[in-house]
């Protein structure tokens, strides 16, 4: 981990702490200016090992050059906050300190997360360097976000959120930096739909959108263009994802069919309700006026409509949340809706399904193949699903 000289350096403490607790071995390189914002003692305590500085780089008693040792033993690198100065050095291939020398001596994937004043970020030279860095395959990026900066400016320049940095690191550890979805447009749905029958009451389900957003993150990290159409969710959406809110089944139906013609894959992870109230009331009904029976009508079938519109290169991936036997109902849904592949998961098992951080699944395709995926974090499960899609549906 390379820490640049900026006020956002303090945010790196959460990243290091989280990854160390997850079993990662983290070595931190503190640039000369970064030590003005955060101390080596703080980072070494979190890393459980000594923090490296330029003073270590030039130490004459090292058995091997330090930058070579680091470059050969690390799996991947994070540089955050990435300053305008270090950005320029990376683009030009300069190596005048331990951090940039380690970069040049390695071939590992590198995730960069810039942070700086808005005016600095918008300078033509900085933007040109940023675009040049994107063209080098080993660099993966989390661009700065809009917000209130430490200098009291309001604009683009905030470093990406810790959750997004950690998720991207987890993806890189799984994929080793491959971008095998580059050039593809994935349309993904997430969250639960709500069918209101008055201003405050609705028919819904416990879906939180965690699986759909994990799929969006995984696709984004593998190079895809991602459109996420979502209902009710409890997770932040990555800034690089095009997000469209669709809270009802009808709204999601319209949004999906509008975007589907321009997409390559449709991954239908949303928990769309099957029925909606046949009548809706404006305002909130008083308790005394609540109906004793609520007539229902069917919600439009999104996957069936998408299957009828599909072109030869397009792929349809569905999800089936089930209790009890998950395989038989999923196989029936796969055939009935004309899907290429379906992901079945049990929502009646402990720590799986709605609202959990982990999930397990059975993946089935129209050729009769199946694969059981053991319980893992939902981001890793998303990557495993994409691996199977590309293996079974070339």
302 annotated to bind ligand: yes
- Residues 199 and 284: beta-carbon distance below 8 Å: yes
335 annotated to bind ligand: no
* Catalytic site positions: 151
> Domain ends where: 154, 175, 196?
175
Rounded mean pLDDT, 163-189:
97
The predicted pLDDT at position 383 comes to 98
Which 8-state DSSP code applies to residue 113? E
Q: Which tens digits make up the pLDDT trace of 274-312?
A: 999 999 999 999 999 999 999 999 999 999 999 999 999
Residues 119 and 52 in one domain: yes
Cα–Cα distance for residue pair 227/220, rounded to 1 Å: 10
Q: Is residue 286 part of a domain?
A: no
**CATH number reported for the structural domain that contains residue 378 in this entry:** 3.40.50.10300
Q: Is residue 288 part of a domain?
A: no
178 annotated to bind ligand: no
Residues 205 and 354 in one domain: yes
CB proximity list for 73: less than 8 A, separation 6 or greater = none
337 annotated to bind ligand: yes
Residues 19 and 155 in one domain: yes
Q: Is residue 304 part of a domain?
A: yes
The predicted pLDDT at position 57 comes to 86
- Domain tally, the chain: 2
Cα–Cα distance for residue pair 350/341, rounded to 1 Å: 25
236 annotated to bind ligand: no
Residue 376 pLDDT exceeds 70: yes
**Helix pair 162-175, 12-21: axis angle to 10 deg:** 50
For tokens 């030009």, the residue is 92
Q: Which domain holds residue 245?
A: 185-280+295-392
Q: Which tens digits make up the pLDDT trace of 30-77?
A: 998 999 999 999 999 999 999 999 988 877 666 788 899 999 999 999
> Domain ends where: 175, 195, 210?
175
Which 8-state DSSP code applies to residue 139? E
Q: Is residue 331 part of a domain?
A: yes
The predicted pLDDT at position 62 comes to 64
The lowest-confidence range among 6-10, 63-67, 104-108, 337-341 is 63-67
Residue 132 pLDDT exceeds 70: yes
Residues 137 and 232 in one domain: no
Residues 24 and 122 in one domain: yes
Residues 230 and 378 in one domain: yes
Residues 193 and 315 in one domain: yes
pTM greater than the 0.75 cutoff = yes
Residues 189 and 164 in one domain: no
Q: Residue 250 to residues 102, 195, 273, 289, 301: CA-CA distances in angstroms? A: 53, 9, 10, 27, 9
Task: Quote the mean pLDDT of the chain.
Answer: 95
């Amino acid at each position: 981990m390379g820490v640049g000289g900026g006020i956002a350096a303090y945010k790196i403490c959460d990243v290091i702490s989280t990854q160390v607790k997850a079993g990662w071995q983290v070595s931190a390189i503190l640039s000369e200016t970064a030590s003005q914002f955060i101390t080596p003692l703080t980072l070494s305590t979190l890393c459980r090992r000594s923090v490296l500085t330029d003073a270590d780089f030039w130490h004459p008693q090292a058995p091997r050059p330090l930058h070579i040792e680091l470059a050969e033993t690390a799996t991947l690198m994070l540089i955050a906050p990435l300053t305008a100065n270090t950005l320029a050095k990376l683009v030009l291939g300069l190596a005048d300190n331990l951090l940039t020398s380690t970069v040049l001596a390695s071939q590992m994937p590198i995730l960069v997360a810039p942070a700086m004043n808005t005016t600095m970020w918008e300078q033509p030279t900085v933007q040109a360097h940023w675009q040049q860095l994107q063209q080098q395959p080993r660099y993966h990026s989390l661009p700065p976000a809009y917000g209130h900066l430490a200098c009291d400016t309001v604009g683009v320049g905030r470093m990406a959120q810790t959750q997004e940095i950690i998720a991207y690191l987890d993806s890189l550890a799984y994929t080793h930096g491959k971008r095998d979805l580059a050039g593809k447009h994935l349309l993904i749905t997430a969250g639960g739909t709500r069918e209101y029958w008055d201003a405050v009451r609705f028919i819904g389900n416990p879906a939180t959108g965690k699986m759909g957003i994990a799929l969006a993150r995984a696709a984004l990290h593998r190079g895809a263009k991602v459109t996420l159409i979502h209902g009710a969710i409890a997770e932040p959406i990555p800034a690089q994802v095009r997000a469209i809110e669709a809270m009802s089944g009808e709204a999601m139906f319209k949004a999906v069919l509008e975007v589907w013609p321009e997409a390559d894959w449709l991954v239908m992870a949303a928990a769309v309700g099957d029925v909606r109230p046949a009548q809706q009331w404006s305002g909130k009904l008083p308790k005394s006026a609540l109906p004793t029976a609520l007539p229902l009508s069917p919600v439009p079938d999104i996957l069936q409509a998408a299957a009828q519109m599909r072109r030869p290169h397009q792929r349809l991936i569905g999800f089936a949340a089930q209790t009890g036997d998950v395989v038989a109902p999923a196989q029936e849904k796969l055939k009935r809706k004309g899907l290429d592949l379906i992901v079945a998961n049990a929502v009646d098992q402990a720590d799986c399904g709605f609202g959990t951080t982990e999930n397990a699944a059975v993946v089935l395709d129209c050729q009769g193949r199946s694969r059981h995926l053991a319980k893992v974090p939902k981001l890793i499960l998303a990557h495993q699903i994409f691996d199977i899609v590309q293996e079974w549906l070339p």
